[in-house]
Chains A and B, each alone.
Chain A
Amino acid sequence: MSSISLKQIGLFKEHMANNGVHFSRCYHCRCCGNGCPFLPAFDFAPNTIIRLLQFNLINEALESTTIWACVGCNTCSMECPMLIDIAGLMDGLRQLALATGVPPAEPDILSFHQAVMDSISKYGRTNKLDIMIRYKLKTRTWLQDWQVGLKMLAKRKLDIFASKVRDPALINTLLNTDKK
Chain B
Amino acid sequence: MTEKVYAYFPGCSLATTARENSQALIHLCRQLGVRLVELDDWNCCGSSSAHSIDATVADKLAMRNLDITPANTALLVACPSCNLRLRYAREKLRTSKEARRKYKSWFGRSPARSIKITTFIELLGKTDLSSIAPKKNNRLKGLKFAPYYGCMLARPPLMHREKNYHGLMERFLAKFGASPIKWSHGNRCCGTFLSVVRPDVVSSMVNSIMNDAAQWGAECLVTACAMCHLNLEIRCNPDTSMPIFHFAELLAVVIDETNSNGFFRKHLIDPRPLLKSRQLIP
Binding site for B on A (CB under 8 A): 18-20, 37-38, 40-41, 69, 71-75, 77-78, 80, 83-85, 87-88, 91-92, 94-95, 98, 106, 108-110, 112-114, 116-117, 120, 124-128, 132, 135, 144-145, 148, 151-152, 155-159, 163, 165-166, 171, 174-175, 177-178
Q: Assuming the A-B contacts A157-B266, A165-B43, are A37 and B197 also in contact, with contact meaning beta carbons closer than 8 angstroms in the complex?
A: no
- In angstroms, Cα B204 to Cα A122, docked, is 34
Q: Assuming the A-B contacts A109-B193, A112-B49, A116-B49, are A74 and B151 also in contact, with contact meaning beta carbons closer than 8 angstroms in the complex?
A: yes
**Cβ < 8 Å to A, chain B residues 227-259:** 230, 234
- In angstroms, Cα B105 to Cα A20, docked, is 22
> Which residue of chain A is the closest to B201 with respect to CB atoms?
A41
Q: Assuming the A-B contacts A113-B53, A117-B50, are A75 and B187 also in contact, with contact meaning beta carbons closer than 8 angstroms in the complex?
A: yes
Binding site for A on B (CB under 8 A): 12, 15-19, 41-44, 48-57, 60-61, 64, 98, 105-106, 150-151, 154-158, 160, 187-189, 191-194, 196-199, 201, 204-205, 230, 234, 265-268
- In angstroms, Cα B187 to Cα A52, docked, is 29
A94–B194 touching, CB < 8 Å: no
B187–A174 touching, CB < 8 Å: no
B44–A37 touching, CB < 8 Å: no
A87–B192 touching, CB < 8 Å: no
A108 contacts across to B, CB distance below 8 A: 197
- In angstroms, Cα B61 to Cα A171, docked, is 8
> Which residue of chain A is the closest to B60 with respect to CB atoms?
A174
B43–A171 touching, CB < 8 Å: yes
Apart from the given pairs A78-B154, A120-B43, A125-B12, 5 other A-B contacts in the complex at a CB distance below 8 Å: A41-B194, A83-B157, A108-B197, A113-B49, A157-B17
B105 contacts across to A, CB distance below 8 A: 177-178
Q: Assuming the A-B contacts A74-B154, A77-B154, A95-B53, are A120 and B44 also in contact, with contact meaning beta carbons closer than 8 angstroms in the complex?
A: yes
B189–A112 touching, CB < 8 Å: no
Count A-B contacts at CB 8 Å. 158
> Which residue of chain B is the closest to A113 with respect to CB atoms?
B49
> Which residue of chain A is the closest to B43 with respect to CB atoms?
A124
Partner of A157, one of B16, B43, B192, B199: B16
B197–A106 touching, CB < 8 Å: yes
B193 contacts across to A, CB distance below 8 A: 71, 109, 112-113, 116
Partner of B17, one of A18, A112, A120, A128: A128
Give min CB distance, B245 to chain A, whole Å.
16
Q: Assuming the A-B contacts A71-B193, A95-B53, A116-B50, are A77 and B199 also in contact, with contact meaning beta carbons closer than 8 angstroms in the complex?
A: no
- In angstroms, Cα B192 to Cα A161, docked, is 23
Give min CB distance, B195 to chain A, whole Å.
9
A73–B154 touching, CB < 8 Å: yes
B196 contacts across to A, CB distance below 8 A: 112, 132, 135, 145
Partner of B266, one of A69, A120, A155: A155
A71 contacts across to B, CB distance below 8 A: 189, 191-194
Give min CB distance, B8 to chain A, whole Å.
14
**Lowest 10 A-B CB distances belong to which pairs?**
A116-B49, A73-B189, A73-B151, A74-B154, A113-B49, A83-B157, A124-B43, A126-B12, A157-B17, A41-B201
- In angstroms, Cα B105 to Cα A2, docked, is 34
